Amino acid sequence: MKLDKIIAIGGKPGLFKLLTQTKSGFVAESLTDGKRLTVNLRNQVSVLSEISVFTLDEEKPLIEVFELLRQKENGHNTSTSHKADKLALEEYFFEILPNYDEDRVYPSDIKKIIRWYNILVDHKLLDTSEDIEQEYEEK
């Protein structure tokens, strides 16, 4: 599945799959518990395919960060939990992306990235690198 159908909704934990559009917003389904909800256009919504991570050189698309995580973990869940302490999170993320901008990428951002990655792996949405490469090439 392409990440342009996966969204994060401000104030709601986890990730959601975009199902359909309505007059005043859209319907999304939680990847965590499968519950559906109507999302108003006033909600802050982020499409995963449009999120980037700050590095010292440039912004790195989130899909590339997920691919780096997938390679490090051999397609499995991360070895570090998103609930780990700040130092452990930063050390782990430094292994993945050594040139990330520590002043602009906060521990809360790292927690989200790790949590989102694990959700996507659990739902087999990051199974093949070909899917990731294809999505990156479309940008």
CATH number at residue 12: 2.30.30
Q: Do 61 and 111 fall into the same domain?
A: yes
pLDDT number for residue 42? 87
Q: Do 67 and 42 fall into the same domain?
A: no
Q: Do 25 and 91 fall into the same domain?
A: no
Q: Do 76 and 87 fall into the same domain?
A: yes
Entry pTM: 0.86
Q: Do 57 and 78 fall into the same domain?
A: yes
pLDDT number for residue 36? 96
Residue ranges for the chain with pLDDT beneath 50:
1, 129, 131-132, 135, 139
Full domain range(s) for residue 71: 51-137
pLDDT per position as a tens digit, 30-46: 999 999 999 988 899 99
Q: Do 60 and 73 fall into the same domain?
A: yes
pLDDT number for residue 73? 93
* Calpha distance 17→8 (Å, rounded): 9
pLDDT number for residue 112? 95
Q: Do 32 and 58 fall into the same domain?
A: no
pLDDT number for residue 77? 93
pLDDT number for residue 132? 46
pLDDT number for residue 14? 92
pLDDT number for residue 100? 96
Instruction: Tell me how crowded residue 23 is: count the other CB atoms within 10 A of its CB.
Output: 6
pLDDT number for residue 67? 94
